[in-house]
Structure 1
């Protein structure tokens, strides 16, 4: 069965002006349509640079063998706007994303830029706001919202323009645990409802448990990749890179080392808790 990859990166490098070493060094990877991919690594590892290359905010170093392809379109100067229409980005600081006087105005902004009629906007905007659970705040000033609410509005603005890919560029790093959980839940719901492909740039290793694929970056290269359960087993490598495995994985490993049989298929805190409850009920 052929895998439908919505993003194909081949032999891509990028060097910032005056830099001695490339920020991205001959990187190759694929992202499957409808999947969730987490990209992790320490500051300066190249995570955010990859995202800016995908949507054409940066131009890759010239190389006849390199290629960036999004939804079947090869990235060039002529196709960059076609690709940006397919990619929505939620950035780290929600305050930097707002341009409207109200939540509804802000969600409508992307539609206005695309020449959507006001009549059509009156249909699209309320649905997008409702999808992220923010209908009661439609007329509120964005500055009056909490961090988590602001990110949900940013997601509504992306949903309104109907992209195929949503990128979370450290989008939850400034939120408290409740706000982070709410935003991730909304993204998961939108992914499932609209068949979106999600790429999450994150420092929070626990968030990667949501992913179908994890890419670990260091010094502009992908040092390992695979399903979360595969990557999390590389404890030594992650520790060397200044990363830790998710807490539930640490608990799972400790239990297994104490002769408690925990299946490798347990890949989330919720699954681990349910399994331990089942074990306890059998005693």
Structure 2
């Protein structure tokens, strides 16, 4: 992001702003990151790259990240997950079991609408 160092903030895209905000939090040596839909403004091609970069930083530092997402592909980078509906915790566990739970709910929903 060094190429954006001298640019006014208002000239940055949403994705660039997201990256700068994450970089700033990491530069401040924070112990926890709360990332709410942090890939939303990124191009699809950039989303996984940013997730992998954040994951690599988390792996080599003592920073904990909690991120909110609707993107099931991001579960593969999680140590654990919580599934919520209407602000209530429905289930929680390791990422694989939550992914399986969500896919089962999707399958049931699809079966209902096709019946």
TM-score of the superposition, structure 1-length normalised? 0.35
Equivalent in 70, 78, 83 of residue 203 of structure 1: 70
Deviation at 1:239, TM superposition (A): 5.0
Note the aligned Cα RMSD (angstroms): 2.2
3-state secondary structure, aligned to 1:200: strand
Which sections of structure 2, spanning at least 5 residues, go unmatched? Answer: 111-115
Deviation at 1:217, TM superposition (A): 0.6
3-state secondary structure, aligned to 2:92: strand
1: distance between equivalents of 2:32 and 2:107? 31
Q: Could you report, residue by residue, the CA deviation over 1:168-216 in whole angstroms, capped at 9, with x for unpaired residues? A: 1111123221232232123112212322111110011111111010100
2: distance between equivalents of 1:227 and 1:177? 25
2: distance between equivalents of 1:167 and 1:241? 31
The number of residue pairs the alignment matches comes to 109
Which sections of structure 1, spanning at least 5 residues, go unmatched? Answer: 1-133, 243-283
> What does residue 111 of structure 1 align with?
none
Runs in 1 of length 4+ with deviation above 6 angstroms? none
What are the within-5 Å matches in structure 2 for residues 79-94 of structure 1? none
> What does residue 99 of structure 2 align with?
232
TM-score of the superposition, structure 2-length normalised? 0.78
More RCO (CA 8 Å, sep 6+): 1
Q: Could you report, residue by residue, the CA deviation over 1:141-163 in whole angstroms, capped at 9, with x for unpaired residues? A: 22333333221111121112211
Q: Could you report, residue by residue, the CA deviation over 1:219-268 in whole angstroms, capped at 9, with x for unpaired residues? A: 332211111221222233355689xxxxxxxxxxxxxxxxxxxxxxxxxx
Greater per-residue helix proportion: 2
What are the within-5 Å matches in structure 2 for residues 11-26 of structure 1? none
What are the within-5 Å matches in structure 2 for residues 81-230 of structure 1? 134-230=1-97
In structure 2, the CA distance between the partners of 1:237 and 1:144, relative to structure 1 (3 Å rule), is: same
